[in-house]
């Protein structure tokens, strides 16, 4: 049928009538047309495989051949292409039973068949049933549109338009409605947490709890308390009853439980997790009973669990359960075409956090970023922008502002700052700013918001020549703090 005719039809809905019997098909089409429906007569059932939407609201099957064709074809048809199916008239009990309970995948369970039209039903009854089916079909389409829009909005938090990031969006959309555990893996510094949040939000769970547990901190002594909960026996002036502290599993009830850094779990902890996931239940000390695991499991890992299991560092069975649906987050080095958008996004993010004016990324600054090897991935870029924003009061993120910091170990890995003394960190900040200002002490003092004499004293203690002395006019570069 012409799609423009379908779109502008003033009828009550579009009904496909399928039968190999031309006379019977014409009889029913005439009946439905008199009721005000737009009728599409077909000799055999046709699914709109390539179309985003079906070409009708309801499909009415008139004979056993049409029913058999439907049952065979429905498995290979996308869920969004299906429409409610009615049989008319009613057929034998055996055929009815096989039709109403066909072997369909989970995605088709709510789609079809819808109901049976009986030959003894009045026209009013038939009309009401068809109207209900049409209303159901349109509400289903509206719901699917809303789901698609929600998924699209959530995935927009992944900044970039490279093929790698688009593949990641598509992969997230594939696993959103799965009930099996999902493993999100990527190198250290990649936004694994962001991907887990998008999966949670896209599953209509944004109003449900989102609980994380760091597997690297779990031990055989605390894993039961951490996951299942525990009592604390603290007497107060109001009561001496023990206080129940719910575990992470109970806190995540109906929502998502994230096993963060699951690759760092020790073998005893892995054994507990395997037992929990295999049984699908846990023992609650609160009432001394076993409770079902009623939350979605998402794991994050910086290493391949299958590779670890081959090296006998991870339980093979647990790795198989957690890796049933795997999402690999691409490295920043593999999608450098996204650097411009990602950097601007992070500049706005940092400026809002620190209450400053966002810097403008220049072309030479972008070239510096593209040439750099991002060992620390997105986190390294975020740390770099945060440091430059604190040190440089300029309005541009250019090559001159980036060079003193680019490639710094303390930027690539935030953990590298751990263990540095306050004096060492202060020295690095002053030397980097001094190099950024080209050895100009007045600009350096103004940028650091300290006195000129204080700055000169600090530089002298670091081994720099006094102001105006021999060597004070030389070009300065960043010196590594000890």
Residue 305: other Cβ atoms inside 10 A: 24
CATH of domain 179-330: 3.40.50.300
pLDDT at 479 over 50: no
Least confident of 148-162, 277-291, 308-322: 148-162
SS3 at position 182: strand
DSSP code for 407: T
Contact 329, 186 (CB under 8 A): yes
Over residues 72-104, the pLDDT tens digits come to: 776 666 655 667 777 776 444 444 444 444 444
pLDDT at 237 over 70: no
Domain boundaries, the chain: 3-146, 179-330, 333-461
φ/ψ bin of 288: left (φ > 0), alpha (ψ from -120 to 50), beta (otherwise): left
CATH topology of domain 333-461: Helicase, Ruva Protein; domain 3 (1.10.8)
Please tell me the total number of residues recorded for the chain in this structure: 482
Least confident of 7-21, 41-55, 86-100, 408-422: 86-100
Contact 196, 256 (CB under 8 A): yes
* Run of H or E residues at 385: helix 377-391
Over residues 428-472, the pLDDT tens digits come to: 778 777 776 777 888 888 877 788 888 888 888 887 877 654 444
pLDDT at 112 over 90: no
- Domains 3-146 and 333-461 alike in fold: no
pLDDT at 393 over 90: no
* pLDDT confidence of residue 404: 77
- % of the chain beyond a pLDDT of 70: 76
Q: Give the class (CATH, top level) of 3-146.
A: alpha beta
Mean pLDDT within 120-133: 81
Mean pLDDT within 274-301: 90
Mean pLDDT within 276-284: 90
Contacts made by residues 273-281, CB under 8 angstroms, sequence distance 24+: 273/215, 273/318, 274/315, 274/317, 274/318, 274/321, 276/227, 277/181, 277/318, 277/321, 277/322, 278/317, 278/321
* pLDDT confidence of residue 3: 43
Over residues 8-27, the pLDDT tens digits come to: 344 688 888 888 888 888 88
């Amino acid at each position: 049928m012409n799609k423009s005719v379908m779109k502008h039809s003033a009828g009550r809905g579009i009904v496909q009538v399928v039968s190999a019997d031309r006379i019977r098909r014409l009889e029913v089409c005439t009946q439905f047309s008199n009721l005000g429906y737009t009728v599409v007569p077909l000799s055999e059932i046709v699914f709109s495989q390539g179309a985003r939407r079906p070409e009708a609201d309801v499909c009415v099957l008139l004979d056993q051949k049409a029913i058999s064709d439907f049952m065979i074809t429905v498995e290979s048809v996308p869920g969004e292409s299906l429409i409610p199916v009615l049989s008319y008239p009613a057929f034998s009990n055996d055929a009815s039973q096989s039709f109403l309970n066909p072997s369909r995948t989970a995605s088709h369970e709510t789609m079809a068949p819808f109901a049976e039209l009986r030959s003894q039903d009045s026209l009013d009854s038939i009309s009401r049933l068809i109207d209900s089916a049409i209303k159901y079909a349109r509400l289903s389409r509206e719901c699917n549109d809303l789901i698609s829009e929600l998924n699209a909005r959530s995935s927009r938090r992944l900044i970039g338009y490279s093929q790698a990031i688009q593949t990641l969006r598509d992969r997230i959309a594939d696993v959103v409605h799965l009930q099996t555990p999902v493993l999100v893996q990527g190198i250290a510094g990649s936004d694994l947490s962001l991907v887990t949040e998008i999966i949670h939000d896209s599953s209509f769970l944004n109003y449900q709890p989102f609980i994380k547990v760091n597997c690297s901190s779990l031990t055989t002594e605390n894993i039961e308390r951490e996951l299942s909960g525990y009592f604390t026996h603290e007497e107060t002036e109001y009561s001496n009853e023990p206080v129940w502290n719910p575990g992470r599993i109970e806190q995540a009830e109906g929502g998502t439980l994230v096993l963060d850094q699951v690759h760092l779990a020790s073998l005893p902890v892995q054994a507990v997790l395997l037992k929990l996931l295999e049984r699908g239940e846990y023992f609650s000390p609160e009432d001394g009973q076993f409770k079902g695991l009623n939350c979605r499991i998402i794991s994050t890992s910086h290493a391949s669990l299958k590779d670890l299991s081959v090296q006998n560092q991870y339980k093979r069975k647990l790795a198989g359960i957690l890796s049933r649906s795997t999402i690999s987050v691409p490295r920043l080095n593999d999608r450098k075409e996204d650097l411009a958008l990602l950097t601007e996004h992070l500049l706005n993010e940092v400026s809002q956090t620190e209450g400053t004016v966002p810097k403008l990324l220049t072309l030479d600054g972008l070239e510096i970023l593209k040439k750099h090897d991002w060992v620390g991935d997105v986190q390294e870029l975020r740390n770099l922008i945060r440091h430059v924003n604190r040190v440089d009061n300029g309005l541009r993120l250019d090559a001159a502002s980036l060079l003193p910091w680019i490639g710094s170990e303390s930027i690539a890995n935030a953990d590298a700052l751990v263990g540095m003394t306050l004096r060492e960190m202060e020295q690095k900040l002053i030397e980097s700013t001094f190099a950024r200002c080209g050895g100009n002490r007045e600009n350096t003092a103004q940028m650091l918001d300290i006195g000129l004499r204080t700055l000169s004293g600090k530089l002298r203690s670091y081994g720099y020549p006094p102001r105006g002395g021999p060597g004070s006019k030389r070009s300065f570069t960043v010196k590594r703090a000890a």
